[in-house]
C-alpha cells in the first residue's frame, strides 16, 4: 500500500516538478512569484513522511476520507497523492500518469480563490440571514428573494468584498503583472480580510473551509474512482451508487459526455466521499446515538452543501475571469452544477426526513425537520446571491 502511494508521489513530482522531499514553501519562494504570499501557511510545515499530500490540511482530509468513507473505497483512496502545485491558474485536476497510477494536482490559485470565496460567502451570509428569516421568504421566487436581499445589502458596506473579488479576478486572469506588482508590495494583500468583517461566525469558519476544500478534493477523487482518468476497480461500485441520482442527472442539459462526467464526479464526490466520511466519523468517533442520526444527517447535508456551494462559487469567480474558454466547454456551467448538487441533496434529505421517527426539535427549538428540509433551497438562493455579487464586482 505504501508502495502505491510512493509511486503516485513520484509521478506527481516528475510531472509537476514539485520535489517530494524539500520544503514546499521554500520551493515556491524560488519560483517566479517569489514574495507573493498565498493563504496557506500549512505549506510551510510540510513533513513529507507518508503524507498523502504536500499540504498537511489536505493530508488530514485524505486521512479522513480513507478511514471513514465506505470500506470499498479505503484501499484506492490510500494510494492517491493529492499535491498542491504553485501555479496561479485556478484549477484542479486528476490525472493518470503511467502504470494506472493516479495523482491529483490542485493549484495554489484555486486555494486562494477558495479562501476568497469563503470570505465573500460569509460577508454576504449575514445579510442573507435577514432575508431568509423574513416571514415572506417561504413564498418568494428566487428572483424576489434576491431583490429583497439587495434591498438589505445596500448600505452594509460589503463593497470591500467586491473589490477583493475584483482583485482576485485580475490576479487569475493571466496572472496580471500589474496586480502581481501590487501584491508584492503588500504581502498580506491576498490574505482573507476576515478581521475586517466583524460578525463572521468564527465557529463556522473552519467547518466551511474544511467542507469547501473537502468538496474540491472529493470531486477529483471521484474522477479517479469513477474510472474517468484510468482503469478503476471501483467503477462498477461507484456507478451503482450514482444510480439513485439518475432523475436529477437526466434533467440536466449536457452538451457532451465530459460535462456529464463532471456532474457524476460532483454527486459521487459529494455523497459518497465528503458527506459519507463526515457522517461515518460522527457516528464512530462522536458516537451519535441512534435517535439523533437522521437530524445529524440533515445538519451534515447543510454543512457539506455549503462547502460545495463555496467551491462552485470559486469556479464561477475564476470562470468569469475568462479562464473557462468560450465554445462548448468540457465543464458544465457552475449554475448547472450547483443546481444538480442542491436537487440531489434535496431528494436524499426529503427521503430521510419523511420517514424519520426522531423528535422534531433541534438546537433552535421545535420545527427542526421543516428548517432542515429547507436547507438545499436556502443554500441555492445564497449561491445565486453571492454569484451575482461576484458578477457585479467587475
Q: Tell me the torsion sign for CA atoms 183, 117, 271, 275.
A: positive
Cell numbers given for 249: 442527472
Neighbours of 88 (CB within 10 A): 20
Closest approach, Cβ 312 to Zn ion, in A, equals 12
Closest approach, Cβ 84 to Zn ion, in A, equals 17
Query: Going by C-beta distance under 8 Å and a sequence separation of 6 or more, which residues neighbour residue 205?
Result: 118, 122, 194
Closest approach, Cβ 318 to Zn ion, in A, equals 14
Q: Which of residues 205-264 bind Zn ion (CB under 5 A)?
A: 262
Count of residues in contact with Zn ion, rule CB under 5 A: 2
CA dihedral angle for residue 179, residue 185, residue 187, residue 188, rounded to 10 degrees: -70
Judged by CB, which is closer to Zn ion: 213, or 369?
213
Judged by CB, which is closer to Zn ion: 241, or 279?
241
Q: Which of residues 71-130 bind Zn ion (CB under 5 A)?
A: none
E strands of 189-339, at which residues? none
Contact 222, 265 (CB under 8 A): yes
Contact 55, 189 (CB under 8 A): no
Closest approach, Cβ 228 to Zn ion, in A, equals 8
Cell numbers given for 12: 506527481
Neighbours of 241 (CB within 10 A): 20
Judged by CB, which is closer to Zn ion: 38, or 215?
215
Q: Which residue is nearest to Zn ion (CB)?
A: 262
Closest approach, Cβ 331 to Zn ion, in A, equals 7
Cell numbers given for 262: 463532471
Judged by CB, which is closer to Zn ion: 311, or 353?
311
Judged by CB, which is closer to Zn ion: 122, or 261?
261
Footprint of Zn ion (CB under 5 A): 262, 265
Amino acid at each position: 500500500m505504501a508502495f502505491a502511494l510512493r509511486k503516485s508521489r513520484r509521478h506527481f513530482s516528475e510531472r509537476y516538478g514539485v520535489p517530494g522531499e524539500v520544503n514546499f514553501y521554500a520551493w515556491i519562494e524560488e519560483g517566479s512569484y517569489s514574495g507573493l504570499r498565498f493563504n496557506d501557511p500549512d505549506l510551510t510545515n510540510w513533513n513529507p513522511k507518508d503524507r498523502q499530500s504536500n499540504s498537511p490540511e489536505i493530508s488530514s482530509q485524505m486521512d479522513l476520507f480513507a478511514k471513514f468513507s465506505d470500506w470499498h473505497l479505503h484501499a484506492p483512496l490510500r494510494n492517491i497523492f493529492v499535491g498542491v502545485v504553485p501555479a496561479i491558474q485556478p484549477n484542479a485536476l486528476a490525472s493518470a500518469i503511467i502504470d494506472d497510477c493516479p495523482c491529483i494536482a490542485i493549484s495554489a490559485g484555486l486555494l486562494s480563490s477558495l479562501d476568497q470565496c469563503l470570505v465573500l460567502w460569509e460577508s454576504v451570509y449575514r445579510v442573507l440571514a435577514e432575508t431568509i428569516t423574513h416571514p415572506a421568504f417561504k413564498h418568494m421566487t428566487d428572483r424576489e428573494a434576491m431583490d429583497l436581499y439587495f434591498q438589505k445589502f445596500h448600505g452594509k458596506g460589503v463593497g470591500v468584498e467586491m473589490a477583493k473579488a475584483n482583485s482576485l479576478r485580475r490576479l487569475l486572469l493571466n496572472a496580471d503583472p500589474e496586480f502581481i506588482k501590487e501584491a508584492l508590495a503588500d504581502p498580506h494583500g491576498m490574505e482573507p480580510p476576515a478581521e475586517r468583517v466583524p460578525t463572521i461566525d468564527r465557529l463556522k469558519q473552519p467547518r466551511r473551509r474544511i467542507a469547501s476544500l473537502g468538496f474540491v478534493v472529493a470531486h477529483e477523487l471521484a474522477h479517479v474512482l469513477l474510472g474517468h482518468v484510468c482503469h478503476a476497480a471501483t467503477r462498477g461500485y461507484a456507478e451503482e451508487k450514482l444510480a439513485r441520482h439518475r432523475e436529477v442527472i437526466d434533467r440536466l442539459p449536457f452538451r457532451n459526455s465530459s460535462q456529464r462526467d463532471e456532474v457524476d464526479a460532483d454527486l459521487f464526490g459529494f455523497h459518497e466521499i465528503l458527506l459519507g466520511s463526515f457522517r461515518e466519523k460522527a457516528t464512530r468517533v462522536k458516537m451519535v446515538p441512534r435517535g439523533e442520526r437522521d437530524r445529524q444527517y440533515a445538519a451534515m447535508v447543510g454543512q457539506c452543501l455549503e462547502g460545495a456551494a463555496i467551491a462552485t462559487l470559486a469556479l464561477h469567480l475564476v470562470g468569469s475571469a475568462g479562464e473557462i474558454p468560450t465554445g462548448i466547454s468540457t465543464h458544465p456551467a457552475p449554475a448547472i452544477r450547483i443546481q444538480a448538487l442542491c436537487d440531489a441533496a434535496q431528494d436524499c434529505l426529503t427521503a430521510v426526513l419523511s420517514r424519520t421517527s426522531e423528535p422534531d426539535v433541534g438546537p433552535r427549538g421545535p420545527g427542526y425537520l421543516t428548517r432542515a428540509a429547507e436547507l438545499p433551497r436556502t443554500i441555492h438562493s445564497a449561491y445565486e446571491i453571492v454569484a451575482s455579487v461576484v458578477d457585479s464586482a467587475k
